[in-house]
Amino acid sequence: MAAVTTENPYGLVAALEQGGIIAQVIFGIMVLMSVVSWYIMFTKWFEQKKMLNEAADVEKKVWSATSLKEGTAKLDKNSAFRQLADDGLRAFDHHEGKLTDQIDQHEWVTMSLNRSAGLISNKLQSGLSFLASVGATAPFIGLLGTVIGIYRALINIGISGSAAIDKVAGPVGEALIMTAIGLAVAVPAVLGYNYLAGRNKTIMEKLNTFAADVHGYLLSGSRMARPVPAAPAAAPVKK
């Protein structure tokens, strides 16, 4: 009795075997892009989560202390908020004239805080450009595999002189698989980029608010007043 073959002759493995080295290289590139994209998305998400938790701790640890230096010391030594406050304190304590005679203390502290916030922003943005590149290029890399698969189908038709399904099913299946893989790589990268970029914006708003509070405290001894939301306008009285 003959053995029953269950292997799909038109599956991914068969398509890669028939497609040769070009299809295999394209598939390997897209797998690598996908793995790196997911790694960046997970690591950036945990990094952002840590910073958002630190932002919540700032109110409890820093501004409840008797001084900014004492409150800053309560934060984790690798905290972005501690880095920002330490840079502000360092700029405030070391403004002694000399090379900074032409810059008053207000501008000197502002420049230091802005430089520190810029470095933190650059760190937050690291990796996102790769996600954007994957989202933009993965569909076209898959399309390259699609074009090659269709080209092979046309060659098979020309050689056999017949457009029978068994001659073109493999190359066409390979073409469709490459298109699907390209989209499967690109869509998560685009969604991940947009999600992480939005969270970065939220984190930078909190960092800039903290920087303004540090600046106000160093130069005036108190935090900046929080804006009070305007009360809703009273409805007109009907006569």
Between the alpha carbon of residue 34 and those of residues 30, 41, 140, 187, the distances in Å are: 6, 11, 14, 10
Give backbone dihedrals phi and psi of 4, rounded to 5 degrees, phi first.
-90, 125
Nearest residue to 174 (alpha-carbon basis) of 5, 11, 7: 11
Nearest residue to 105 (alpha-carbon basis) of 116, 94, 95, 90: 95
Amino acid at 218: L
- For the cut 70, the answer to whether the pLDDT of residue 101 exceeds it is no
> What is the value of pTM for the model shown?
0.75
Q: What pLDDT does 116 receive?
A: 87
Q: How many CB atoms lie within 10 A of CB 96?
A: 8
Q: What pLDDT does 82 receive?
A: 84
Model confidence pLDDT, tens digit, residues 16-51? 666 668 778 888 888 999 999 999 999 999 999 988
Q: What pLDDT does 1 receive?
A: 42
Model confidence pLDDT, tens digit, residues 118-162? 888 888 888 899 999 999 999 888 888 777 777 776 776 677 665
Model confidence pLDDT, tens digit, residues 56-89? 888 777 877 777 778 888 888 888 888 888 888 8
Contacts of residue 69, Cβ cutoff 8 Å, sequence gap at least 6:
89
- For the cut 70, the answer to whether the pLDDT of residue 226 exceeds it is no
Q: What are 92's two structure tokens?
A: 């405030």
Q: How many CB atoms lie within 10 A of CB 212?
A: 14
Q: Where are the alpha helices (DSSP H) in the chain?
A: 12-61, 68-73, 80-93, 105-125, 128-160, 165-220
- For the cut 90, the answer to whether the pLDDT of residue 191 exceeds it is yes
User: What percent of the chain has a predicted confidence (pLDDT) above 90?
Assistant: 20
The mean per-residue pLDDT over the stretch 189-213 comes to 91
Give the pLDDT band of residue 2 (cuts 50, 70, 90): very low
What Rg, from alpha-carbon coordinates, does the chain have?
Answer: 29
In terms of C-beta density within 10 A (0-12 exposed, 13-18 middle, 19 or more buried), how is residue 38 classed? middle
Q: What pLDDT does 44 receive?
A: 93
